[in-house]
A and B are shown apart, each in its own frame.
Chain A
Amino acid sequence: MTFLDRSHSVAGPGFSRWLVPPAALCIHLCIGQAYAFSVFNKPLAQLLCSAAQACPPATEKAISTTPGDWSITDVGWIFSLAIVFLGLSAAVFGRWVESAGPRKAMFAAACLFCGGLIVSGLGVMAHNLPLIFLGYGVIGGCGLGIGYISPVSTLIKWFPDRPGLATGTAIMGFGGGALIGAPLAVGLMKYYSSPTSNGVAPTMITMAVIYFVYMIVGALLVRLPADGWRPAGWTPPTAEVAAARMMTTRNVVVGDAVKTPQFWLLWAVLFLNVSAGIGVLGQASLMIQEVLGVSVAAAAGFVGLLSLFNMGGRIFWASTSDTIGRKQTYMIFFALGAVLYALTPSLGHWHAIVLFVLAYGIILSMYGGGFATIPAYLRDMFGTVQVGAIHGVLLTAWSAAGVAGPLILNKLRDYELANGVAKADAYSMTMYIMAGLLVIGFICNWLVRPVADRHYMPTTPTVGGELIA
């Protein structure tokens, strides 16, 4: 297994750096399946009734009345656990990912994520929910975290001239993974379903095998640049340009980075941006049905459109940040996002469906863009040496937002409905509060300043992994 070692994955002469983004995409397109886990929710809540051929007709709202079947709330914890363990494992294993190198980290991610899917499949066969929590939530969640950060610092080292574009491409894959994972799971469940089974367990096991092959190809393709490598014709920015763009020429180790106010401001920036977006993502289907009165099929189309904006925004905004700067990009996210959130209740009242959909599309593009731009922002603030590990710790903001965002949206909606507010109006207050969260995010981002000298490593300054003469 020495071929997995960091020393065995250094690129030789003639290797093209444009092979590294597809290697990263092999990982992110697979682990992005997590965003599509909700396609399993209803079938998981109908395991016993489908075995007994006693499920309610699809036209009725009840999921299952068979004793022993799990509720949608029970099943919803699987995804929440996976996101929590994504953040925790990224934080805990970030330094290991940096030292072990991308190939070993990608291999570990493949084993954990696909192993987690198989354990979940066994849990479904045994109708054992704790086993599914352990499989997809804990083991798979650790695979998500390690897989998510595994290519980030490698891409930043290969693309010092365009770090936003490079990391945006990989993280776009996480958004795109849902577009593949949802129809793949639906198709496989249809293929495996029988009169007494809805095919969830074999679907999970088949997906584990397919994803394992893809992820291993990514691990085999990935290479680290040799020491001193730089893109042909590229020269590191001068100290003056770097200072003007708030790009550090030095490095901060992860232990010192977490002691800086900049780290916690960026943590808050990611937390607030994700909280605002994730709450809408989870409720998008129900929201458009209740606000605009569209059909279930049309609502599914709305969710699909948001996924496309979420994916496209990752590469658009991250590459834009290479030109206009990271801080300015987040300023746009928060200012434009707050205005759009504040406008959407009115657009709903006016039944301006195209503008309503477009507003949420732009909001979700900035949600994705926030994820994709943060690695390059961290590189600008803390340098390249431990950017993967620092990114890992910062992803705990995602875990926190994954719990807080849907909680805020659901509780506020329940409160509004309990106070006699019409269903179509119940989301208005929530949208104004989301706008408020983004205003706080704007302030946090505005407060970000260069890191104080005392936090830097006492080494030769670098930009994009390159020594400055």
Chain B
Amino acid sequence: MAQNNTGSSATTQVTLGWVWVGIPLAWGVIVTIQNVAKLFQ
């Protein structure tokens, strides 16, 4: 049981870590793609 708790805690930490860096990165990529779209208009 203790091992399961450690495993789920690590998974939560990893998920939060990737969300923390993923949100600004995704925002930057979306803004850039919006600018790229102007190239082919």
A29 interface neighbour in B7, B21, B37, Cβ under 8 Å: B21
List, in ascending order, chain A residues with CB within 8 A of B32's CB: 179, 304-305, 307-308
List, in ascending order, chain B residues with CB within 8 A of A357's CB: 39
A18-26, A372-380, A392-400, A440-448: which lies at the interface:
A18-26
CB <8 Å contact, A300 and B29: no
Chain A interface residue count, CB cutoff 8 Å, equals: 33
Complex Cα gap A14–B7 (Å): 7
Interface residue? A173 (CB, 8 A): yes
Interface residues of A in 175-210 (CB under 8 A from B): 176, 178-180, 182-183
CB <8 Å contact, B39 and A29: no
Closest A residue, CB atoms, query B31: A183
Chain B interface residue count, CB cutoff 8 Å, equals: 26
CB <8 Å contact, B6 and A179: no
List, in ascending order, chain A residues with CB within 8 A of B38's CB: 297-298, 300-301
Interface residue? A302 (CB, 8 A): yes
Complex Cα gap A29–B32 (Å): 15
Closest B residue, CB atoms, query A302: B39
List, in ascending order, chain A residues with CB within 8 A of B24's CB: 29, 180, 214
CB <8 Å contact, A179 and B25: yes
Q: Is the interface of A mostly helix, strand, loop or mixed?
A: helix
A25 interface neighbour in B7, B21, B27, B36, Cβ under 8 Å: B21
List, in ascending order, chain B residues with CB within 8 A of A13's CB: 6
List, in ascending order, chain B residues with CB within 8 A of A26's CB: 20-21
Interface residue? A343 (CB, 8 A): no
**A231 nearest CB across to chain B (Å):** 14
Instruction: Report how many A-B pairs have Cβ atoms within 8 Å.
Output: 81
Complex Cα gap A255–B21 (Å): 36
**B1 nearest CB across to chain A (Å):** 13
Per-residue contact bits, chain A 15-59, to B (CB 8 Å; 1 contact, 0 not) = 110110011011001000000000000000000000000000000
CB <8 Å contact, A16 and B11: yes
Interface residues of B in 1-41 (CB under 8 A from A): 6-7, 9-11, 13-14, 17-18, 20-21, 24-25, 27-29, 31-33, 35-41
Complex Cα gap A454–B31 (Å): 52
Closest B residue, CB atoms, query A312: B29
**A382 nearest CB across to chain B (Å):** 29
Complex Cα gap A25–B18 (Å): 9
CB <8 Å contact, A173 and B21: yes
List, in ascending order, chain B residues with CB within 8 A of A299's CB: 39
A22 interface neighbour in B20, B27, B37, B40, Cβ under 8 Å: B20
CB <8 Å contact, A15 and B17: no
Complex Cα gap A89–B24 (Å): 28
Binding site for B on A (CB under 8 A): 13-16, 18-19, 22-23, 25-26, 29, 173, 176, 178-180, 182-183, 214, 217, 221, 294, 297-302, 304-305, 307-308, 357
Q: List 12 A-B contacts (CB under 8 A).
A: A18-B18, A19-B17, A29-B25, A179-B25, A179-B31, A180-B24, A180-B25, A214-B24, A294-B39, A304-B35, A304-B36, A357-B39
Closest 7 CB pairs of A and B: A179-B28, A301-B39, A22-B17, A14-B6, A180-B28, A304-B32, A25-B21
10 further A-B contacts with Cβ under 8 Å, apart from A13-B6, A217-B20, are: A16-B10, A16-B14, A19-B17, A22-B14, A23-B17, A173-B21, A176-B29, A180-B24, A182-B28, A304-B36
Binding site for A on B (CB under 8 A): 6-7, 9-11, 13-14, 17-18, 20-21, 24-25, 27-29, 31-33, 35-41
